[in-house]
Amino acid sequence: MKMLLAIINHDDSRNVMNDLVKSGFSITKLASTGGFLRAGNVTILIGLDDSRLNEALAIIREHSITRRQLVPSMADLGMTAVSSAPIEISVGGATVFVLNVEQFEKM
Ligand code: 2BA
């Protein structure tokens, strides 16, 4: 068994979750905040059988869009020692961690 921990842009999360649930995956949504942008994103926990790993990854990949985003300045992010000029960064699609599950119990 695997546990997918997928960090997804808030705007993509509805489509990702809809398709995962429609395909029969059990999921849990957590409201999370990125440490760099300090903006809200969504973390989805998905416990699944090894045989369905690629299917779940394909659904997440399909709906997670990479965006270019202008960050006003590094100083605004609390990094005063770094440049204060605006920077453009690439955010997303999704950041996914695949973990092996040692034991799974429902009580
Ligand atoms: P944030 O930490 O808010 O990061 C948003 C985007 O800012 C990142 O997009 C990346 O393009 C950029 N970024 C992050 N740290 C940076 C830095 N030190 N210098 C310059 N640019 C930086 P993504 O890589 O797509 O990440 C989106 C969100 O996924 C992150 O939001 C964070 O919540 C999560 N994430 C990404 N990698 C992670 C990791 N290794 N561990 C835990 N969470 C992670």
Q: Measured from the CB, is residue 89 less than 6 Å from ligand 1?
A: yes
Ligand 1 atom with the smallest distance to the CA of 92 is 25
Q: Please name the residue that has the structure tokens 């999360």.
A: 13
Q: Give the H or E element holding residue 96.
A: strand 95-100
Asked whether the predicted pLDDT for residue 81 surpasses 60, the reply is no
Asked whether the predicted pLDDT for residue 51 surpasses 60, the reply is yes
Q: Are 29 and 6 in contact (CB under 8 A)?
A: no
The CA 91 to ligand 1 mean position distance, Å, reads 7
Ligand 1 pocket test, pick from 8, 13, 36, 41 with the greatest ligand atom count within 8 Å of Cβ, gives 36
The tens digit of pLDDT for each residue in 25-45 reads 999 999 999 998 888 999 999
Mean pLDDT of the chain, nearest integer = 91
Q: State the pLDDT confidence band at 60, using cuts at 50, 70 and 90.
A: very high
